[in-house]
Amino acid sequence: MPTHMQKLSTTFKTTTAAALTVFAALGQPTVALATEPSSILKSGTYVEGLSYKRYTEPFVLQQLTERTYMVSVSTHNATFYVSDTGVLVFDPLAYGYGQGVLDAIDSVTDLPVTALVYSHFHMDHLGDAQLFVDSATADGTDLRIIASAEVADQIQTYGNPIPAPTDVIKDSPGSFTFGELDVRVEATDDTHSIDNTLFLLEQERVLHYLDTVEPEDFLPYFRLVGILDIAPMEETLQYVKTLEWDYLNAGHGNVGSRSDIDAHLELISDIRNATGAAIGQVAFDQFIDPATDVMFWIKGFHDAIAKQALETLRGKYGDQPRFDAVMTSHVELMTTNLSYFSAH
């Protein structure tokens, strides 16, 4: 093995060992032992080394069931299902990552992509839709583009420069079929976006539901993945746990399970408790200064709350690699929620 590859191999082993220690403490799933793309992943385990491989390989493909796969390209994930006559893709991705999805599909089957699903209107998950339309046209295939009514409306409202849905699911919960597969379609109230939609591949027991939790990476993207109101997101996640699925593709991070949701909900509870305690202990009056605008008083108050809450949270989460990058933003979001959306 070349020297540089030996170094990478050592890095993977060291990183994986550290991750196992951290996630065992948090009650997270363990890293899977079998990670070949042709191997079906055991439910409740992670794809080994995905947090590094996804940035160094054209795509990382993981089989979830006999017919369903998750493919990771850089920061984003897509799901695809292979029927007897064609391929169904959930989210085309963006930034050129969609080509990685198409290449991953080509590594599994010669069948064409005949249906594409939009999960929500954010362009980082949809921007490469035209690649799939062009591919279908080259194959002489009529491509179905499926979306909920909420997603179709937001695409039109924001003028997203992507192909419009051809099949709009008006009911929630609603459904569509693809070959022998039944797909449950349901609008959520998680406030990540006004139209975020979950898709349950019922016979496959795979849930495609994006941008709330980040399995394995754990501490999520800034401000709890850009949500507005925390309480509805918590309620949605509790509901998601009641659905019948074994695998979660959350759009980012690794393959997820219910324990990832539980850890995320515990994190939110801890942030709420630490932030609420800080709000009750930091006196606003100390920041009042007649020589400055009230916005400076509020900023000083919020900064002091964040500092105190972070000291509390560091004891439990400080070893997480993302703590210093993202935890302040989570506390700031909680401060806003406790200030405007909670009774005092």
Give the per-residue pLDDT at 39.
86
Q: Binning pLDDT at 50, 70 and 90, where does residue 47 land?
A: very high
CATH architecture of 3-266: 4-Layer Sandwich (3.60)
Examine residue 173 and say whether the peptide bond preceding it is cis (omega within 30 degrees of 0): yes
209 pLDDT above the threshold of 60 = yes
Model confidence pLDDT, tens digit, residues 70-122: 999 999 999 999 999 999 999 999 999 999 999 999 999 999 999 999 999 99
Beta strands in the chain (DSSP E): 60-63, 68-73, 76-82, 87-90, 113-117, 144-148, 167-169, 174-178, 181-187, 197-201, 206-208, 247-249, 255-256
Q: Binning pLDDT at 50, 70 and 90, where does residue 130 land?
A: very high
Residue 87 makes CB contacts below 8 A (sequence gap 6+) with 80, 81, 105, 109, 111, 112, 113, 114, 115
What is d(CA 323, CA 33) in angstroms, rounded to the nearest whole number? Answer: 28
The pTM of the full predicted model, rounded to 2 decimals, is 0.87
> Percent of the chain beyond pLDDT 90?
85
Domain boundaries, the chain: 3-266
Model confidence pLDDT, tens digit, residues 131-168: 999 999 999 999 999 999 999 999 999 888 999 999 99
Give the per-residue pLDDT at 273.
97
Average pLDDT over residues 179-206: 97
Tokens standing for residue 92 = 């085309």
Give the per-residue pLDDT at 1.
38
3-class DSSP string for 201-263: ECCCCEEECCCCCCCCCCCCCHHHHHCCCHHHHHHHHHHHHHCCCCEEECCCCCEECHHHHHH
Residue 317 makes CB contacts below 8 A (sequence gap 6+) with 219, 267, 270, 323, 327
